[in-house]
């Protein structure tokens, strides 16, 4: 699974939906609780770290100390991951200076803490409350936005800069078959 799906769908869908109104140039820190299913590709019980291949790409999570059943999982296991994310969103005009340190993850590289992603707004549909974004590796997808007010001032060509600060597993369970 390519990292563009992880970037465009995994992060953006959870971030854009929970963002609240973003004013130009302001960083909005937002959090979200979500679930995903996938296959464990790496697990480090000592470091309490988990990497999961999902239908939307690969992501690396910190495992909260409340998760007690970690030793019962191994690479290759199908799991359901309940996680919390904390991301920063900044809306910028395309003519602004490039974002310092913004590097799109390489294909196959997991998205995780300290990842900076720059996406471009390709379309805003206020009537349908959707935004169309293009990720750094060219993947284009349309996302619903919970509140039409969040789209005020957003226009084609704007950039949405996403900084992932934390992805933390709060519950880990075998996937339902």
Q: How would DSSP label each residue in 3-47?
A: HHHIIIIIIHHHHHHH-----BT-EEEEEEEEEEEEEEEEEETTT
CA 89 vs CA 101, 117, 130: distances in Å:
15, 10, 17
Give the model's pLDDT for residue 103: 55
Domains of the chain: 3-174 (2.40.50.320)
- What number of residues does the chain have? 177
CA 173 vs CA 39, 116, 132: distances in Å:
11, 29, 33
The model scores a pTM over 0.85: no
Contact 26, 155 (CB under 8 A): no
pLDDT, tens digit, 9 for 90 and up, residues 116-128: 878 888 998 988 8
Query: Could you tell me what percent of the chain has a pLDDT over 70?
Result: 73
Give the model's pLDDT for residue 14: 43
**Residue scoring higher pLDDT (104 or 117):** 117
| Cα gap 84→31, rounded to integer Å | 7
pLDDT at 100 over 80: no
pLDDT, tens digit, 9 for 90 and up, residues 144-170: 777 777 777 888 888 888 788 888 999
């Amino acid at each position: 699974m390519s990292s563009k799906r992880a970037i465009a769908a995994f992060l953006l869908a959870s971030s854009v939906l929970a963002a609240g109104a973003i004013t130009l140039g302001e960083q909005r820190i937002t959090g979200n609780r979500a679930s995903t299913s996938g296959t464990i590709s790496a697990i480090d019980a000592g470091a309490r770290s988990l990497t999961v291949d999902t239908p939307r790409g690969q992501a690396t999570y910190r495992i909260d100390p409340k998760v007690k059943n970690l030793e019962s999982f191994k690479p290759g296991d199908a799991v359901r991951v309940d996680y919390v994310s904390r991301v920063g969103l900044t809306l910028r005009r395309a003519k602004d200076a490039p974002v310092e340190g913004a590097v799109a993850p390489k294909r196959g590289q997991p998205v995780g803490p300290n990842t900076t992603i720059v996406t471009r707004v390709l379309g805003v549909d206020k009537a349908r409350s959707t935004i169309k974004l293009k990720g750094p590796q060219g993947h284009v997808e349309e996302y619903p936005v919970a509140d039409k007010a969040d789209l005020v001032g957003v226009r084609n060509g704007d950039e949405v800069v996403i900084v992932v600060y934390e992805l933390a597993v709060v519950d880990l369970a075998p996937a339902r078959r």
